[in-house]
Amino acid sequence: MLLKTKVAIELFTDYDMLLFIENGVRGGISQCCNRYAIDNNKYMSNFNPDDEIKYLMYLDANNLYGYAMSKYLPLKDFVWSDNNLTTQDILNLSDESDVGYILEVDLDYPPICMTNIQIFPLPLKINPHLIVKNLDF
């Protein structure tokens, strides 16, 4: 891609900055499925209001990498920021701004979310030494 676009991406000169970026790399899943699922919601003919409400979804997203590569991406002038940005500052940034930020955040989930993310934890972190154990289904 770089050969065709002739884009020059500046290399990191700060090793800590490189490590910061590498530690932020997240992976995803290519498939997440269960062998069998039953929905139970008001749109189904066999809806049972006494049982837990469940919806099934079919999602098919193609070319997510290509889509991401067509968006504004960091190319140069990498510096550590000492700005004390607020959430509103970040949310007000345009997707097409010449200035962007790479953030390190701590995520706290309320206990009610824990059962929902047991099978698909957010965000997934790439760990080459991780041995995934079978999850309880």
What distance in Å separates the CA atoms of residue 67 and residue 129, rounded to the nearest whole number?
A: 30
102's tokens: 């790479």
The total number of residues written for the chain in this structure: 137
Q: How far is CA 81 from the centre of its chain?
A: 23
User: Who has greater pLDDT, 14 or 136?
Assistant: 14
pLDDT tens digit string along 37-86? 889 999 999 999 999 999 988 777 778 778 888 888 888 999 998 888 88
pTM of the entire predicted model = 0.57
Q: Tell me, what amino acid is at 5?
A: T
**Rg of the chain over all Cα atoms, to the nearest angstrom:** 21
